Every structure is written in C-alpha cells, then in structure tokens.
A = this chain, B = another copy of it.
Amino acid sequence: MQLEDMILVSVDDHVVEPSDMWEGRVPQKYADLVPKLVPQPDGSDAWEFLGNRSANAGLNAVAGRPPEDYGFDAMAFSEMRPGCYDVHERVRDMSANGVLAQLNFPSWPGFAARQLLRTPDKDLALAMLRGYNDWHVEGWCGEYPDRFIPLGLVPIWDPALIAAEVRRLSRMGCHAVTFAENPVPLGLPSLHSDHWDPFWAACEEEGTIVCMHIGSSGRQVMTAEDAPAGVTHSLTAVSTMSAGADLVFSDIFKKFPTFKFALSEGGIGWVPYLLEKLDTHYAHHRAWTGEDFGGKLPSQVFRERIITCFIEDRVGIENRHDIGVDTITWECDYPHSDSTWPDSPEMLWKQIGHIPDEDIDKITHENAMKAFRFDPYPVRPKEKCTVRALRAEATDVDTGYHYVTKRQSLAATSAALRDQQDRAQESKI
C-alpha cells in the first residue's frame, strides 16, 4: 500500500455557514428574525441576531494562508477560501487534498447549539435549529452524498425535543449529532443525571452517534489570566479526557447498551494513559467505592463505546494497540489553523505509512464509515475514492499560500481571543 492508495474519511471539519443558510428553511413568520450576515465598518462580516452581533471569528477559516498570517481574523468572507462556505469549492479543496469525505461541525450556532440555547423564544430557536439541520443535510451534504457525513444539531434545552430531532434526522439519513462534552458549564444537568435519558434512548433506537467536540462545553483549561494562549491550546485534550472519564463513570452505557460517542479533535496519544489510570483506580478502590462496570474493566467499556480521532499524533499511532485499533479515526480539521490541508496525505503517511495495511484502512476510513454508518460506494466506486483518484479530479485547484492583509495586530488578536474565552465562561445561562 502506498500513500496514494489511502482512502481518507475525516471525522472533524468545519463549515462556515453561508449568508443564505436559513432562506426558505424557517416558517414565514420567522423569516425576518433569523441571523443576518452584515458587513461591519471595520471591514469584517458579522452575524446579527436579536440585537446581538457575533463575529465569524478566529482561527477557524485560515486554510490557504501562511502560518505567519494567522490570527483572529479572517473575519470577512472575502478573507476566506471559498471552500470555507461554498460546498462546491469545498469539495474541490477536499479532492485536491485527497480527502473522500468529511463530517462538518457548525460555526455560528456553536458545537452544542449554544446560540440557540441562549435564544429566549424557544419556538424560534427550534425553528432555526431545524432550519440549520435541513440546510446542512440537504443543502450542504445533500449536494454530494458521497463526500459528506451529515451531522445534526440538537435542541439541547429539552431532552424530549432532542429525542424527536434525533428521530427526524435519522429519517433524513443523518446518524450523527453534535452535543456538549460537558453540559454543566452550559448550565445544564451533568452526564450523571438521568435528565438526558430520552436523548440516549433515541440514539440507542436509531443507531445515532453523539459527537463531543473540544470547546463544546464552553469551558477550556485556563491556568491563569496571564498565561499565554499556547498553554490553553496545548491542553485542549483535557476536556476530552474529562468527557471520557465522565462517560465511563456515568450510567449511560449500562442503561443503553450499544450506541456510541465520538470525542472530536481531542487527539489520541493520551488514551493509553487514561485507560491504564481508569483500570488502576478500579483495582485500588472498587472494594470500597462499589464501582461496577457490569463485570468489565473501565478501559473495556471505553473501547467498546467511545471512538477518538487525531490530526497529527505519532504517539497515539505507535500505541494504537493500547488504544484499540478499531476505535481510532482521523480528521483533517479544514479550514482551522491546526489543519494539515492541503498536505494531509503526506503528513498522515509519515505517521502511519509503516503500520500494517489493515490498520491503515481502519484508521483512515473503515472505522469512521462503520461508526457513522457512512457508505459512499453506491454513489462512487471504491477505486475512485483513493487519494490518487481524487487528486486527479482536482489538478486545477490552487493550493498555494495567499496572504490576507491583516486588519489586526497580534496584541488585538490575543485580546479578542481572551474576550472570546471570557464570553464562553460567562455563557452559563
């Protein structure tokens, strides 16, 4: 097997919603209320909704720019690659990178629909959420059913409504939803509460996977006010590790025996450590805590029910057998700043080129296709799904660097990042 033979299914990328996202997708009475993308005096574009403005901000749309040009902008559509928001251009960028398919997380709504959790009129919020899902499943993924795994939002404020939306999404062919890695910082009951049981029951019935992306809880590790951004950025896996521990110690897996969780963008290199720690804790303490994992080790429960993913993670690949080769998936993270686009095959191959073909196939696409119930082959024959075949379809895509004149200094960028973190912390409604 060679680099060009890989089939790449990425389980974590991002869509920057286009300005017409809700057009024709909410009831007429709400047509004027949905967010509008409005050019701002400083040259940026911002979403305006119910009197609030939110920038389309940050390191979330820098694909195609050289690293020294990264920053809190792009904040205008003109500063982004069209692949950020135009599905046809997105597919061309994917092909140029040899990527067969992607799972796209939302931008404006937040990974756990936080913008809509905050919306006081819950009828409006639900209409918008369904509008987003309709757009995402039909208007975005539906254009290229062989190239996207649909990912729905759930009305996180009401478990009964979540269950109904999981079922509606399933009927639309969408078998994955995005949720908070920890609902507590959002002001909602924890994963240890039975509050969410209707949600889990619907996932169990429909075979829907629940994705928990880093940052989805609105809480990040902040060691100190004056710590450089690198500290928080290097510790993003902490919330993923915490979600993993919460899930293992919760009653969810005992009550609902089959559906799965995906921990998104949290990396994999820490998994062997956490699994050993869970088992050591269990060995030392179960006699007095009464912990019970149905006769299994906690590590076994983790491997059976949780999948993880990585962008670059040599350590995780070397330790794949301690993680569980069947639980590892790959991600590209386009168009965010940690993405390996447009050299993903080359960067990935450096880390996995030496392992057995069987493991490469599982990690690059088979595990993802199984967990997300995604089968592109009826639409696109397998031999057209390889890096080689896809890149041959997109030889005219310009993947070179393009500078954007930065509107913000590094200091302003840091201040804006800090603001964003503060707002995330304050969002306990």
Contacts and interface: CB of A to CB of B under 8 A. Distances in A.
Contact of A276 (B227, B269, B276): B269
Contacts of A270: 270, 273-274
Nearest to A312: B280
Contacts of A410: 288-290
Contacts of A416: none
A257 interface: no
Nearest to A68: B287
A231 interface: yes
A237 to B, nearest CB: 7
A234 B235 CA distance: 17
Given A68-B288, A287-B70, A315-B319, A249 B276 contact: no
Interface string A207-227: 000000000000001011111
Interface string A58-90: 000000001111110000000000000000000
A233 B242 CA distance: 11
A285 B228 contact: no
A230 interface: yes
Nearest to A340: B284
A383 interface: no
Contacts of A290: 410
A267 interface: yes
A234 B274 contact: yes
Contacts of A277: 234, 237, 267, 269
Interface stretch (A117-125, A161-169, A188-196): A188-196
Contact of A316 (B225, B231, B273, B338): B273
A367 interface: no
Contacts of A231: 242, 245-246, 249
Given A273-B237, A273-B315, A410-B290, A225 B190 contact: yes
Interface in A233-258: 233-235, 237-238, 241-242, 245-246, 249
6 contacts: A190-B223, A191-B223, A192-B228, A223-B242, A227-B246, A228-B289
